[in-house]
Amino acid sequence: MDLPVAVFDSGVGGLTVLHELLVSLPGEDYLYLGDTARFPYGGRTVDELRDFAGEIAAHLIERGAKLLVIACNSATAAALDDLRQRLEDSGSTVPVIGVIKPESVLAAAATKTGRIGLLATTATTESGAYERAIAAADPHTQVVAVACPDLAPVIQSGSPFDDQVVQMVRRYCEPLIEAKVDTVILGCTHYPLIRPLLQRTLGPGVRIITSGDAVSRRVEHALSINNILKPAGGPEGRYSFSCTGDPDAFREVGERFLQLPLGSVERVILDSGDLT
């Protein structure tokens, strides 16, 4: 089906998810939207995040998206169920995938001790969404959640990591080390950019779960069961980028996240229209 998969996030963090999609499903076309004008999402209210998700989804569906990926943990926690319901009520058949359930299933399967750590934004940790998803996958688990309100903005800024950032990461990881978790979910799509630092801090015996790999598997499955998956073996698909803030700033930081050239970045203005 010659329509794009759309991926959206509060900023450039979702490009870590898009990277895995480009590698796993190279024949698909992709649209990416970063809501950088309203970044960060971590301190937003549930109502705000639901409004943002509705605006973005309406814009991407208007541009022909055949499937939506909410590549933002805060938005997934607050808005996934609401957005699916609004799409259903509007008569849309576009599937919507979030990042929380795929990561939770992988973490529940990976842990050997049943002790799982979570590093995420304040909005995500306060939602309890990971605890519910992990308990549904395996009730015999314990989740230690740590809110990291300063981490995503530091990563998004693109500034060099100094000793202050290292100390911040150590402070956030300390409760997980004390709890002797053996698996840690990176509950924000920005965090994979500092995975080496996190792995060094947590120790080599701790498995780190990121959303990119988990989501790419779920996207392939959703495309397949809805009969909208492009046949394997075809030419590489196209990808395009847009943001609500400064395109030049998005491109500069985004290429570090995607590890591929972005090319032109379109600035879009989202209106207050929704899916109803």
φ and ψ of 213, to 5 deg: -65, -45
Catalytic residue among 72, 148, 173, 243: 72
Count CB neighbours of 246 within 10 A: 13
Rounded to whole angstroms, the Cα distance separating 275 from 28 reads 25
CA distances from 190 to 15, 76, 95, 123, 203 (A): 9, 14, 24, 15, 20
Distance CA 122, CA 183 (A): 20
148 is catalytic: no
Q: How is residue 233 written in tokens?
A: 């073996």
72 catalytic residue (yes or no): yes
Q: Name the residue with tokens 């895995």.
A: 20
Catalytic residue among 148, 173, 188, 243: 188
For residue 62 the two structure tokens come to: 């208007």
Which residues are the active-site residues?
72, 188
